[in-house]
Structure 1
């Protein structure tokens, strides 16, 4: 297997750069609690393989001021911590979306040069 890059390694690198912004995008419509976010991100197994990486990411987003949290009572169990975008989070997401589109288009053009752009 020398000289070959494992699919998992490529996916891990892609996730590392985009996952935080995917979380911010999920919060764009309004606050969500952690399990809701995890279910959305693990639905197809591509964006996130398991819930173990979510909470450290949410903590980092909170510490950097991109999300804020509130506790809300739940009718089905203990209180839940809800995450919401801050103004700084909205700005960071908008910047990422603009940058991602240009980056994605450039990568697509290199990967499939015969496709019209």
Structure 2
């Protein structure tokens, strides 16, 4: 799937995969890829600026964690982030309903094909 298809929905995707608990960047990329059945492939250059922006907005917080010699920044939802995720989901449902109504209109009873 094209990267452009994710534009406008990236925040919701990131918040959603962090709902179950903290993850580092690569794990976030992997979670989106797995949840989408392999259809969505996010790049580091796409998610890190978004994660930083979401953190500045107070939707995420991050901590540094060490794993052996490697340090990783882990991100988790804040309470504000959980409310933001609820809003993203509501907006998504409205958006998909509107697009679905246009792309797959239901035929009114009595109309011939």
The two structures have a TM-score, normalised by structure 1, of 0.77
| Residue in structure 1 matching 2:52, options 44, 59, 62 | 59
Counterpart of 1:111 in structure 2 is 103
Structure 2, gaps ≥5 residues long: 108-113
**Number of residues paired by the alignment?**
104
SS of residue paired to 2:8? helix
The structure richer in helix per residue is 1
Choose 1 or 2 for highest CA Rg. Answer: 2
Counterpart of 2:29 in structure 1 is 38
Counting only pairs closer than 5 Å after superposition, residues 1-117 of structure 1 correspond to structure 2 as 8=2, 12=4, 14-42=5-33, 44-46=38-40, 48=42, 50-75=43-68, 77-114=69-106
Structure 1, gaps ≥5 residues long: 1-6
Moved over 3 A (4+): none
Task: Provide the C-alpha distance between the structure 2 equivalents of 1:72 and 1:34, rounded to a whole number of angstroms.
Answer: 12
The two structures have a TM-score, normalised by structure 2, of 0.80
